[in-house]
A and B are shown apart, each in its own frame.
Chain A
Amino acid sequence: MAKELKLMKGNEAIAEAAIRSGCDGYFGYPITPQSEVMEHLMIEKPWETTGMVVLQAESETSSINMVYGGAAAGKKVMTSSSSPGISLMQEGLTYLAGAELPALVVNVVRGGPGLGTIQPSQADYFQAVKGGGHGDYQMYVLAPASVQEMYDFVFLGWEIAFKYRNPVMILSDGAIGQVMEKLYVGPHIPRWTEEELRKNAPWASCGKPADRDHNIITSLDLDSAKQELHNHKLQAKYREMEEKEVLFEAINCEDAEYIFVAYGSSARIAQKAIQLGREKGIKVGLLRLITLFPFPKKQIAEFSKKVKGMLAVEMSAGQMVEDVRLAAEFRCPVEHFGRYGGIIHTPHEVLEALEEKIIKG
């Protein structure tokens, strides 16, 4: 299929992908550094072409609950925000997970805590993969590292969300949201018709025909025995994701003595640090995480048997590094490096950290 070349910001790519992937509704509230998502939708006016709804809600709390409503009716619905806004959505996210609703939530992370700054950060890792909301739930968390992946992961997100009836988060950051790169876009996928929706989402609460029982969407069951069974079902789903849906990329790892573990913009910066390191004769590679949940535990465990050390590179005070350490089980040293609070580390700083913290030990 012919692909069309565009030059776009990561945020615009999310919006473009929403329209082209047959999204039924976007509900959002503007916040830097992701405002171009809704801006691009407003410029493109998909309600005039595909019939997609684009609505600026009065708050992030409203947006996520509009998503809940749309998802309950079997629609492909999404929202996007940045860190403080995503914090406001946590209640909605755990309800979506509890009610087993497919939805797409994009977090273009900025520095925190609190209102923080508008500059890029990766300090929402814990919130994205360890809950954020209450209860034993998981979102499927994708970490795009390019404008192309911002686009592609919207399509992948729908697929996973509907396959598992589970919310999917695209965990990006201000740098990937703001950078403009080449983007190849494919043809438009039409929105589901009423018949397709009933076939693809037979559980949806979208009007009861005579030949089936009521579909009920809820996360509430006051009977604890039933609630435990429901939790078993959710956990089985998460284990299945861990079994089948882990995504990662190993870059320059064949002969690597040292490994950077990174995702998103830090993974891009680490790739440059690899070039700089290899010019100096340091055999370093990168394990780029694409899914943060499910986490590539097995792959990290394998690498931990082969390499002399790993450096977790993330724009946070050290969050993902905990999961890397758990997976490496002390078979090799695992250290953390990252600038945070909105400062982006440079490739030189990353290489220097590898030399200081791992190679010199």
Chain B
Amino acid sequence: MTEEIIIAGFGGQGVLSMGKILAYSGAMQDKEVSWMPSYGPEMRGGTANVSVIISDERISSPIISQFDTAIILNQQSLDKFEKTVKPGGVLLYDPNGVFNPPTRKDINIYKVAATEKASELGMAKVFNMIVLGAFLEVKPVVTEEFIEKGLLKSLPERHHKMIPENLKAVQTGKSIVETVFEL
């Protein structure tokens, strides 16, 4: 199993930390992992993306241009990355602010209304974990047990009290993901 993922959105949406938690969880589950950020002059409001690879084998290149899954959190990222999903792959997006939804017919498309749900439940801080939950519902590349271990390992101890809320957000994401188009 090798899963090559791009996560892209606005800076401040927790794109990089979501990738980090996914990578940590994979590492805890004894997978090979890599986490490669775009480290340009990104800031809140700018765009940010990270490629994460989780694999049973040694990872050749952490730098890739085609992905098994694209997790997309804004229109700019959708425009940029829709075409980079491998045929038969997965595109998961948050429809908030997306006025031109994806159109490809050779990939599986899902949406998760994470922004809306997070604000409804007052869970803005763990918005990215709702998205992560939706992804794991579609592609269970790591199990929940290891998400918890990944959180323990990646979050500084002073934030460990936030872990239950993070796990709840993952559950929320799993329950609200919708199929838009399936092959």
Contacts and interface: CB of A to CB of B under 8 A. Distances in A.
A182 B60 CA distance: 13
A62 B177 CA distance: 56
A267 B107 CA distance: 31
B81 interface: no
A317 B61 CA distance: 21
Contacts of B24: 7
Interface stretch (A131-139, A323-331, A341-349): A341-349
A182 B34 CA distance: 8
A220 interface: no
B64 interface: yes
B56 to A, nearest CB: 13
Contacts of A344: 63
A219 to B, nearest CB: 38
A119 B40 CA distance: 7
A272 interface: yes
Contacts of B62: 175, 179, 181, 265, 268
Which of B34, B61, B153 has the most CB atoms of chain A within a 10 A radius of its CB? B61
B23 interface: yes
B39 A269 contact: no
A32 B24 CA distance: 24
A174 interface: yes
Contacts of A269: 61, 63
Contacts of B66: 348
Interface string A197-241: 000000000000000000000000000000000000000000000
A160 interface: no
A174 B60 contact: no
A32 to B, nearest CB: 8
Interface string B112-154: 0000000000000000000000000000000000000000011
Nearest to B59: A181
A33 interface: yes
A348 B63 CA distance: 11
B176 interface: no
B52 to A, nearest CB: 9
Interface string B23-46: 110010000111111011100000
Contact of B32 (A33, A182, A274, A346): A182
B33 A181 contact: yes
A178 interface: yes
Nearest to A183: B27
Contacts of B61: 268-269, 271-272, 347
Interface string A1-33: 000010100000000000000000000000011
B77 to A, nearest CB: 18
B20 interface: yes
Contacts of B60: 268, 271-272, 274-275, 347
Interface residues of A, number: 24
A265 B23 contact: no
B65 interface: yes
Nearest to A286: B60
Contacts of B27: 5, 7, 182
A175 B35 CA distance: 11
B36 A178 contact: yes
B39 A174 contact: yes
A314 to B, nearest CB: 14
A179 B35 contact: yes
A268 B36 CA distance: 13
Contacts of A271: 60-61
Nearest to B150: A7
Given A181-B34, A182-B33, A346 B64 contact: yes
Given A179-B36, A346-B65, 5 more contacts: A178-B37, A180-B23, A182-B27, A268-B62, A348-B65
22 contacts: A7-B23, A7-B33, A7-B35, A7-B153, A7-B154, A118-B39, A175-B36, A179-B62, A180-B23, A180-B34, A181-B35, A181-B59, A182-B27, A265-B62, A268-B60, A268-B61, A268-B62, A271-B61, A274-B60, A347-B61, A348-B65, A348-B66
Interface of B: 20, 23-24, 27, 32-37, 39-41, 59-66, 153-154
Interface of A: 5, 7, 32-33, 118-119, 174-175, 178-182, 265, 268-269, 271-272, 274-275, 344, 346-348
Name the 4 nearest CB pairs between A and B, nearest first. A271-B60, A272-B61, A346-B65, A180-B35
